Amino acid sequence: MATFHHDGIETAYLDEGEGEPIVLVHGFASTKDVNWVSTAWVTTLTRAGRRVIALDNRGHGQSTKLYDPADYHTARMADDVAALLDHLGIQRADVMGYSMGARITAYLALNHPARVRSAILGGLGIHLIDGVGLPMSIADALEAPSLADVTDPMGRTFRAFADQTKSDLRALAACIRGSRQTLTREEVANIAVPVLVAVGTKDPVAGSAAALAAAIPGARALDIPDRDHMLAVGDKVYKAGVLDFLAARP
């Protein structure tokens, strides 16, 4: 496992394949392996001739666990991605994030535009602007004594997922409390890189892909048919759409 140090934390990452680089940023309560390796994204992209880099976000996977919500501001997690590019000596890369990772990617594109060749926002639509999608009740579910004590349906889903991935529940609770930032319409209108917004048609968490794409100059929307927030990430329509987007972008 490769790691690097930045902002007082140790970040784990993978770096596979050769070719133009693409950085993958996973979603809340997930990891680089769960979000990108087990769904065959890394295989798909390396076979397409890409160098694939994916990190465990702070508080997740094999990276440092933090327990202050302030440590999880989305802008700070976007800085982690920029620091990884610095560590690897990469000036600019395509960046794809899913859910919380898409929010991080949007912040990266806005705050570090010279580092982002294109941005793929998976599992996040208009809720980048008008809401964070995931309810705060998930933090309570993560801090409950056990899954059996959680009655909220979405809270149960994320608690079960976090238990399955053997995540640090207290770190995840701090993360969801600290990473609830949104961007304004004026801010997203200033994102100046090619953007693809990909959301499952049965995903109430993300909000509309078309509505967000309409707010970002030149952005494209991709509907992932009959997929919810959890299932869309590994879908073949999503993968094909991303490969087409990467092939066509300037």
**147 domain-assigned:** no
pLDDT interval class at 125 (50, 70, 90): very high
CA dihedral sign of residues 244, 219, 128, 112: positive
Average pLDDT over residues 100-115: 97
Average pLDDT over residues 120-148: 94
pLDDT interval class at 131 (50, 70, 90): confident
Q: What is the pLDDT of residues 136-167, one digit of tens each?
A: 999 999 999 999 999 999 899 999 999 998 99
The total number of structural domains in the chain stands at: 1
**Amino acid 132: pLDDT:** 82
**157 domain-assigned:** no
**196 domain-assigned:** yes
**108 domain-assigned:** yes
141-146, Cβ contacts within 8 angstroms, sequence gap of 24 or more = 142/169, 142/170, 142/172, 142/173, 142/176, 143/169, 143/170, 143/173
* Domain boundaries, position 9: 2-133+182-248
**114 domain-assigned:** yes
**151 domain-assigned:** no
225-230, Cβ contacts within 8 angstroms, sequence gap of 24 or more = 225/200, 225/201, 226/200, 226/201, 226/202, 227/200, 227/201, 227/202, 227/203, 228/200, 228/202, 228/203, 228/204, 229/99, 229/123, 229/200, 229/203, 229/204, 229/205, 230/157, 230/161
**32 domain-assigned:** yes
Whether the predicted pLDDT of 133 surpasses 80: no
- Token pair 């094999």: residue: 62
Q: What is the pLDDT of residues 55-66, one digit of tens each?
A: 999 999 999 999
CATH code, domain carrying 128:
3.40.50.1820
pLDDT interval class at 134 (50, 70, 90): confident
**77 domain-assigned:** yes
Q: How far is CA 65 from the centre of its chain?
A: 18
The mean-pLDDT minimum among 20-29, 113-122, 130-139 falls in 130-139
**Amino acid 105: pLDDT:** 98
Please classify residue 87 by burial: count the beta carbons closer than 10 Å to its beta carbon, then call 0-12 exposed, 13-18 middle and 19+ buried: middle
Q: What is the pLDDT of residues 188-232, one digit of tens each?
A: 999 999 999 999 999 999 999 999 999 999 999 999 999 999 999
